[in-house]
Structure 1
Amino acid sequence: MPEVLEKIYQNEEERKLILREYRKLLRTLPPSATKEDRDNVRKAFELAVQAHAQQRRKSGDPYILHPIEVARICAEEIGLGPTAIVAALLHDVVEDTDVTLEDIRKQFGERIARLVDGLTKLDHSYDSESPQAENFRKVLSFLVEDVRVVLIKIADRLHNMRTLGAMPRYKQLKIASETSYIYAPLAHRLGLYSIKSELEDLCLKVTEPEVYQDIARKLSETKEERAQYIKRFIEPIKRKLDETGLKYRILGRPKSISSIYNKIRTKRVPFEQIYDLFAVRIILDVPREREKAACWEAYTVVTDVYRPLPERLKDWVSNPKSNGYESLHTTVIGPDGKYVEVQIRTERMDEVAEKGFAAHWKYKGINTQTSSLFEAWLDEVRELLENKDADAREFIHDFKTNLFTQEVYVTTPKGEVKVLPKGATALDFAFHIHTEVGYHCRAVKVNQRIVPLGYKLQ
């Protein structure tokens, strides 16, 4: 391995840095990785090193550090396996170097070649008014075939956002705008909550640098005070949970800077009047069949200690979000009359919440309701892709509309739960059941009450 680096990089410090980052990547490979998997990762690394030998990032760093880090994000932060790691290492070689897709196919096989093809931008000679939109449409066409293409693309965007500082200001704004418009909602839709929050924070850092720095500074100044409050808040909960015999861990975490900024903006109050700057999370270690009962048992403990606000209860354990998210959320009145959000979930639910559909597929079959919701969403994406008459920008608009981040859950008279975007009307619900039902709908009854067709569902 060092021989490959020595032939290309004369600077010893750079060789050491690349080798250190590569070894860090290797440590993320799962124990189940076969010898063939490890050989493919090594071959992909060597090919990427040689292909990107003459390239540098805007920061001046060797370009190879970018695909290594994208591969690490895929493995460690999203939970993808060796095949995706290989594709991530190779994601820029066809676009930026002399390596062809046929070379990839010969060396790594059809499956990895397909992933790399999905990640390769359209040929620069392609004549389009909006090449970025065309490129995004191509990537999305692979979503319905192999979701890993889009997950790798999100990892690529995350690393680009983390290292945006070396770019000219106008490019930073362009990339941040595109990230905020498409990639953050897409990460949310695929259940990657941590990545979605980080992308939004990084966008805010670019578009509103003074606001970002001001909130970051105030969070830093109140960090110690917040830690003391969280400790005081969780002590009585821990005592009660210990009595139940449940295995659990409990932690407090600050809200993201972008979510705090959204509250300041929507509530029109200063930072000092935002009380729920953090959330407390209780994560239970219980067998699958006990998950629901254990979550409600923990909820009972929390609400025995602190008074809850009933209207702030969100039950995504009984009715998971369509991106796989499961959790019980409640807001209680803690010490000193402060509102505190408490999230209750199991270790499995937490992994799905952090790693999205990569973790969801690992547990596939456990929650058929979530699986069917995701499949229904993929069907909608397929329909959009099949509309050949729409131009790329129209497609992006339709897809963005499809990426609703807030949802309402509506139960049919037969007890089926239907998921619609927030703001959907009673007539939208009728069309959701069937187009014929929508066309012939004359009246709608909600909770035993006749409502107008334009009534917004709650």
Structure 2
Amino acid sequence: PEALRRAYVLAEASHRGQMRKSGEPYITHPLAVTLILAELGAETTTLVAALLHDTVEDTDVTLTQVLDEFGPEVAYLVDGVTKLEKVDYGAAAEPETFRKMLVATGNDVRVMSIKLADRLHNMRTLGVMRPEKQVRIAKVTHDVLIPLAERLGVQALKTELEDLVFAILHPEEYAAAREIAAAHENAAAPGPLAETAGRFRTVLREAGITADVEIRPRHMVSLHRVRGKRGELRGVDLGRLLVTVQEDADCYAVLGELHTCFTPVVSEFKDFIAVPKFNLYQSLHTAVARADGEVVEVLIRTRQMHQVAEAGVVALGNPYAPGATGVEDPHEGEGADPTRPGWLSRLLDWQRAAPDADTFWSTLREDLAQDGEITVFRTDGGTLSLPGGASCVDAAYAQYGEGAHACIGARVNGRLATLSTVLQDGDTVHPLLAAAGDDASPSPDWLEHARTPAARIAIRRWLHAHPDRPAP
């Protein structure tokens, strides 16, 4: 498109004469970021902004110039990923830049897509930096950007970032994982995964199901984790089999054939098609036992699901075009709108209450370290999206905000429960508030049970404002 050509001309001219630490012309960086996003299927607006993402920060090009030449969407994306100056913010520049970026992402998820691609290319070329700077950047990538890539479903970027960080922070373990992968790659005979893939193809062909079957090798971090769980790795542990089909119904047809012709490992079955993950991910997960007793893990998905599994929100194209997300009413149920998922809304809510950059930075890392996402039901028919391990305290603050200071207990699935009760996915929760006029207030103990930053910040703020108040 013409806009891409014009963006490249402006980026090349404005960065001309600038060099990267590697000695390459600076234009190689925005070009590489754009190619990463193009490979994931990003649309033109994102690609134009990717080409220009460093112009306002590092050259004489102004945001007004970008706005005039490329329009408000591109200008918003470029502004969203532009760093704040250390001259103005000092040590707070990095956390405040992330805060600004997250707020911008709340209005347009493409901001974070560009930041993730930007960090991936910088991580690929990190070897030219001093070792201590490599470690610092790798730690921030591990604590903040990899969890954000996971939450946005951009698996292709997440797995490569994980391996690059792993190589810097744990070089010996990384080398061991590489050795295991290389040893099996160099084996002359086809491995058990290749044999099983061949059998799958025969079974599905005979059943009249059109499907592609391929081996998905595990990346280095995944190999390291599996080795930690299972000890010595066998050929079947080095990857999973991916079966891709055309229609949703074909996924279940494949599942039926595989479970009929092989022995399924029932405990390994998960249906993320009927119940997608919070980051848009859909697939059937299963595992089958071979005749020799070895267990092979299997993923079954449509080609469209595969694109979304790899590219997450990037696969939405322009998520703000009418009908792009396939969601009729983005406000119907939390998490229904993939452009404003529940975890992001929650993060944006609590960051407003973070009193300073240090609190924001440490709380952001704590929040992103939470595993998984659960949905609990309110008795008024609504839902709450909470991190795994959340308690009734978290549900109370998610539902009532600072009104939860008056919470005295809860009902979970109709039964009375303490505020410390940990909630499970699918629970129905009703926080109980003290009657008006009753003297109810937070206890310091609540901090031990609160997992969400919104709850922890609100409780700490109340306790700080009432230092002499006796615990209830």
Judge same fold: TM > 0.5, yes or no. Answer: yes
- Report what 2:363 is aligned to: 398
Aligned partner of residue 371 in structure 1, secondary structure: coil
Please tell me whether the aligned partners of residues 320 and 326 of structure 1 are also in contact (alpha carbons under 8 angstroms): yes
Letter in 1 for 2:292: D
- Report what 1:353 is aligned to: 309
- Report what 2:178 is aligned to: 216
The within-5 A match list for 1:150-169 is 150-169=112-131
- Report what 2:36 is aligned to: 73
Q: Does residue 278 of structure 1 match 2:239?
A: yes
- Report what 1:444 is aligned to: 412
Cα–Cα, structure 1 residues 272 and 228, in superposed 2: closer, same or farther, change >3 Å? closer
The answer to which structure has the higher helix fraction is: 1
Cα–Cα, structure 1 residues 101 and 297, in superposed 2: closer, same or farther, change >3 Å? same
Cα–Cα, structure 1 residues 449 and 138, in superposed 2: closer, same or farther, change >3 Å? closer
Cα–Cα, structure 1 residues 456 and 413, in superposed 2: closer, same or farther, change >3 Å? closer
Cα–Cα, structure 1 residues 233 and 429, in superposed 2: closer, same or farther, change >3 Å? farther
The within-5 A match list for 1:110-259 is 110-223=72-185, 225=187, 227-259=190-222
> Which one of 49, 52, 55 corresponds to residue 18 of structure 2?
55
- Report what 1:295 is aligned to: 251
- Report what 2:58 is aligned to: 96
Structure 1 residue 309 displacement after superposition: 2.1
> Which one of 411, 421, 441 corresponds to residue 387 of structure 2?
421
* Unaligned 5+ runs, structure 1: 1-37
Letter in 1 for 2:336: S
Structure 1 residue 185 displacement after superposition: 0.6
Please tell me whether the aligned partners of residues 128 and 134 of structure 1 are also in contact (alpha carbons under 8 angstroms): no
Please tell me whether the aligned partners of residues 270 and 286 of structure 2 are also in contact (alpha carbons under 8 angstroms): yes
Structure 1 residue 324 displacement after superposition: 0.5
Please tell me whether the aligned partners of residues 308 and 333 of structure 1 are also in contact (alpha carbons under 8 angstroms): yes
Please tell me whether the aligned partners of residues 102 and 348 of structure 2 are also in contact (alpha carbons under 8 angstroms): no
Range with greater deviation from structure 2 (256-265 or 308-317): 256-265
Structure 1 residue 372 displacement after superposition: 3.9
- Report what 2:424 is aligned to: 457
Structure 1 residue 416 displacement after superposition: 8.2
Deviation sequence 1:365-409 (CA, Å, 0-9, x none): 16977634744333213313432x521232233334443442345
| CA distance in 2 between partners of 1:310 and 1:334 (Å) | 14
Structure 1 residue 56 displacement after superposition: 1.2
Letter in 1 for 2:348: R
Aligned partner of residue 127 in structure 1, secondary structure: helix
| CA distance in 2 between partners of 1:96 and 1:45 (Å) | 15
TM-score, normalised with respect to structure 1: 0.81
Structure 1 residue 179 displacement after superposition: 0.6
| CA distance in 2 between partners of 1:96 and 1:455 (Å) | 48
| CA distance in 1 between partners of 2:244 and 2:211 (Å) | 6
- Report what 1:407 is aligned to: 373
| CA distance in 2 between partners of 1:168 and 1:454 (Å) | 47
TM-score, normalised with respect to structure 2: 0.78
Cα–Cα, structure 1 residues 138 and 304, in superposed 2: closer, same or farther, change >3 Å? same
* Unaligned 5+ runs, structure 2: 426-472
| CA distance in 2 between partners of 1:246 and 1:431 (Å) | 50
**Once the two structures are aligned, what percentage of the paired residues are identical?**
35
> Which one of 380, 392, 403 corresponds to residue 346 of structure 2?
380
Cα–Cα, structure 1 residues 115 and 455, in superposed 2: closer, same or farther, change >3 Å? closer
Alpha-carbon RMSD across the aligned residues, in angstroms, is: 3.0
Aligned partner of residue 237 in structure 2, secondary structure: coil
Aligned partner of residue 86 in structure 2, secondary structure: coil
- Report what 1:86 is aligned to: 48
Cα–Cα, structure 1 residues 216 and 179, in superposed 2: closer, same or farther, change >3 Å? same
Letter in 1 for 2:301: R
Range with greater deviation from structure 2 (215-224 or 316-325): 215-224
Deviation sequence 1:87-120 (CA, Å, 0-9, x none): 1111111111222222222322332222211121
Letter in 1 for 2:387: P
Please tell me whether the aligned partners of residues 237 and 301 of structure 1 are also in contact (alpha carbons under 8 angstroms): no
Q: Does residue 364 of structure 1 match 2:325?
A: yes
Structure 1 residue 336 displacement after superposition: 2.3
Letter in 1 for 2:209: L
Aligned partner of residue 304 in structure 2, secondary structure: helix
Please tell me whether the aligned partners of residues 445 and 451 of structure 1 are also in contact (alpha carbons under 8 angstroms): no
> Which one of 339, 355, 375 corresponds to residue 295 of structure 2?
339
Cα–Cα, structure 1 residues 410 and 235, in superposed 2: closer, same or farther, change >3 Å? farther
Letter in 2 for 1:338: E
Please tell me whether the aligned partners of residues 161 and 202 of structure 1 are also in contact (alpha carbons under 8 angstroms): yes
Structure 1 residue 246 displacement after superposition: 2.7
Letter in 2 for 1:277: L
Letter in 1 for 2:302: T
Cα–Cα, structure 1 residues 449 and 356, in superposed 2: closer, same or farther, change >3 Å? same
Count of matched residue positions in the alignment of Structure 1 and Structure 2: 411
Structure 1 residue 45 displacement after superposition: 1.3
| CA distance in 2 between partners of 1:432 and 1:178 (Å) | 28
